[in-house]
Structure 1
Amino acid sequence: MDASAEHAMIAVPAGPVALSDRRTQRSWTVEVDPCLIATYPVTQALYARVTGGCPGAVRGEELPVEGVSWWDAARFCNALSEREGLAPAYLIPADGGADVTWDTSADGYRLPTEAEWEHACRAGTAGPRYGPLDEIAWHRGNSEERLHEVGGRRPNAWGFHDMLGNVWEWCWDVYDAEVYGSYRVLRGGGWFDEHWSCRASVRRRSHPTFRVDDVGFRLARSAGR
């Protein structure tokens, strides 16, 4: 994969998306504005080129980067923005404090909101998945319990690869501040997950400092910036 394809973006149209949480039995609808979301999760090659390092235990330039915390992902978004002459989306405290502010007027890279993520994942479909699971995702049943290079499964109707399976993806949102504090939302399921976790609606949560071998992220940008 050439460097330009590594973070190629797809224009996501505006539209409503219905979100739900199995734990609380709550559902709600969000109107998503037009945005840009990356075709693939961030690869190890791109992450290394921007940061000079590569976390995780398994190496492969076209493997999705993993072992990255939410904080790592936010810092990467800002670093890539600065590298390309864009305004960083995140105001990150120099003292390492927990409060990160999203400058919604910035044209730089950021994490998708979970509503944007699910809207892009569904690509106009209404079912639990945008195609037969084995054709679209690396999951516990077909992954041989390991990471796979991005783009190896069939994309959805809008051209997104690996929205389900391979690695979970950090989103911008706090999961439930009243119950879990600063825990952030993860979406998509991973290579070690059973089929029921690889669905468009599934939400997972984790502390923003958490790093594990089935969690990565995907880039987004606000449209018209």
Structure 2
Amino acid sequence: MDAPAPLTMIAVPPGEVTLSDRRTRRRWQVEVAPCELAAHPVTQELYAQVTGARPSTAAGDRLPVEGVSWWDAVRFCNALSARQELTPAYRVADDGDGVERDPAADGYRLPDEAEWEHACRAGTTGPRYGPLDEIAWYRGNSGERPHEVGSRRPNAWGFGDTLGNVWEWCWDVYDAEVYGSYRVLRGGGWFDEHWSCRASVRRRSHPTFRVDDVGFRVARSPAG
């Protein structure tokens, strides 16, 4: 068996974050509990080791996996948990069309968008934690392709690629009354203009949607 692909988890301290939505012009505060979040998006190497699949358009072990749906990300989290003998965070319905999260599970899961933004900001309050060309791959410097994770400067808490490279699926439903089951995407991607690569930007898509600039990173809740 190949050596496990690296997966660095970083402890995220508790805090409070103010989320905002440009479409509805709404702002709301969320208390964030301690958790762990991966330093980078899931790589193609790790995804292949866990699932046996390589769905990405651009090939490279250290590139972020893309071309994955929200459902693909949920199933990956459960598979990675099983691989490490952790309690899966998700209970998927027998028909594959419904999912519940077990708040007591110690396995891997998708981050809540409040956890994601809190970790992305790392104590900063502006749209970005540094100059965009230094911290992110976006349309202005990416050559319109994804790049290896960790190849831009991380934030003060050690998180890289939160902005740019690939959009990242979060657990949250975007707006059930208007968009039904659509889930939240965060962070901007390699094909986006600079205004989409900000800590506060929210996007949404159907949980079965797959495209070449959307990936994800994993989170975990504290044991016990």
The equivalent of 1:95 in structure 2 is 95
The equivalent of 1:63 in structure 2 is 63
Which blocks of at least 5 consecutive residues in structure 2 are unaligned? Answer: none
CA contact (8 A) 1:187 1:204 kept: yes
1:117-132 correspondence runs (5 A): 117-132=116-131
Give me the identity figure in percent.
Answer: 77
**4+ residue runs of structure 1 moved beyond 4 angstroms?**
2-5
Give the distance between the partners of 1:92 and 1:22, measured in 2 at CA. 32
Secondary structure at 1:75's aligned position in 2? helix
Shift of 1:224: 3.1
Alpha-carbon RMSD across the aligned residues, in angstroms, is: 1.2
The equivalent of 2:216 in structure 1 is 217
The equivalent of 1:72 in structure 2 is 72
Shift of 1:94: 2.0
Give the distance between the partners of 2:164 and 2:140, measured in 1 at CA. 11
Note the alpha carbon deviations across 1:52-80, whole angstroms, 9 max, x for none. Answer: 11102211000000000000000000000
Shift of 1:5: 6.8
Give the aligned residue type for 2:73: A
Which blocks of at least 5 consecutive residues in structure 1 are unaligned? Answer: none
Aligned residues: 223
Shift of 1:205: 0.1
CA contact (8 A) 1:6 1:42 kept: no
The equivalent of 1:81 in structure 2 is 81
Give the aligned residue type for 1:11: A
Q: What's the TM-score once normalised by structure 1's chain length?
A: 0.97
Give the distance between the partners of 2:168 and 2:21, measured in 1 at CA. 17
- Quick check: 5-14 or 129-138, which moved more? 5-14
Indicate how the Cα distance of structure 1 residues 222 and 86 shifts in structure 2: closer, same or farther if over 3 A, else same: same
The equivalent of 2:36 in structure 1 is 36
CA contact (8 A) 1:3 1:46 kept: no
Q: What's the TM-score once normalised by structure 2's chain length?
A: 0.98
